[in-house]
Chain A
Amino acid sequence: EAGVAQSPRYKIIEKRQSVAFWCNPISGHATLYWYQQILGQGPKLLIQFQNNGVVDDSQLPKDRFSAERLKGVDSTLKIQPAKLEDSAVYLCAIPSGTGVTYEQYFGPGTRLTVT
């Protein structure tokens, strides 16, 4: 968890409402990831940023999900409108270094419950 702050930690909303999550890497890093972790599954990459630009958003449901990264540091992930199947933990992560062999540091996550 060191190096990545996320807020809020928990969020409960009704379906069709909107919600936003924040990620704040304590130490600036060019690469930032958002993952979705549904209960009983491993994390699934939603979007990868390199500085302010999107590298991979192939698994982001773009009709309802959006993400941005301002000034290459903080990032927000938004869902509008939410569906029941969006209930999950949303994890933000940064690499521990540059290069493909580095592991990732994960934030504590935001647990979203859609009722």
Chain B
Amino acid sequence: AQSVAQPEDQVNVAEGNPLTVKCTYSVSGNPYLFWYVQYPNRGLQFLLKYITGDNLVKGSYGFEAEFNKSQTSFHLKKPSALVSDSALYFCAVRLPYTGGFKTIFGAGTRLFVKA
């Protein structure tokens, strides 16, 4: 079955330290991969995406993600975490189905950045 996994329910980091939020996927073909962030009482916001080309993609708020085809991973990273980065992060994959394309989301990882 095609799926997206976020193995960590929660990630805790200290402000100023690097952060990584993990995502692995299981899909056939070449995936389109996305990261979204959800702040309290707000809808999901797009952070970045991998479509093709350079494996390292850069997005909003200083975030970046690395596509690794051999490990079927798309981990989200930031060199220096901010308290304001504390939020819920979702990895998603866009894949084809009979009617067109659909997006499957991971279960989410809650990031806590401590001052």
On A, residues with C-beta under 8 Å from B are: 1, 4, 40-45, 48, 55-56, 91, 93, 96, 100-101, 103-109
Q: Contacts A43-B44, A101-B51, A107-B43; is A56 near B105 (CB within 8 Å)?
A: no
B interface, over-half SS: strand
Please count how many residues in chain B sit with their CB below 8 Å of the partner chain's CB atoms: 26
Contact B102 A103 (CB under 8 A): no
Task: Tell me if B103 is interfacial: C-beta within 8 Å of chain A.
Answer: yes
Contact B107 A40 (CB under 8 A): yes
A32 to chain B, nearest CB (A): 13
Our pick among B46, B101, B107 for the contact of A100 (Cβ within 8 Å) is B101
Contact A56 B102 (CB under 8 A): yes
CA distance A56 to B107 in the complex (A): 21
Contact B97 A103 (CB under 8 A): no
Contact A56 B97 (CB under 8 A): yes
On B, residues with C-beta under 8 Å from A are: 4, 32, 34, 36, 41-46, 49, 51, 90, 92, 94, 96-97, 99-103, 105-108
Residue on B nearest A44 in the bound complex, by CB: B105
With a 10 A CB-CB cut-off, give which of B32, B90, B92, B99 has the most chain A CB atoms.
Answer: B99
Our pick among B32, B46, B102, B107 for the contact of A45 (Cβ within 8 Å) is B102
B99 to chain A, nearest CB (A): 5
With a 10 A CB-CB cut-off, give which of B90, B105, B107 has the most chain A CB atoms.
Answer: B105
Contact A43 B90 (CB under 8 A): yes
Our pick among B45, B51, B100, B105 for the contact of A43 (Cβ within 8 Å) is B105
Contact partners of B46 in chain A: CB under 8 A: 96, 103-105
A35 to chain B, nearest CB (A): 8
Q: Contacts A91-B43, A100-B94, A104-B46; is A55 near B105 (CB within 8 Å)?
A: no
Identify 21 residue pairs between A and B in the complex whose beta-carbon atoms are under 8 Å apart, listed by A's number: A40-B108, A41-B108, A42-B90, A43-B44, A44-B105, A48-B99, A48-B100, A56-B97, A56-B99, A91-B44, A96-B46, A100-B32, A101-B32, A101-B49, A101-B51, A101-B94, A103-B34, A104-B103, A106-B36, A106-B44, A108-B41
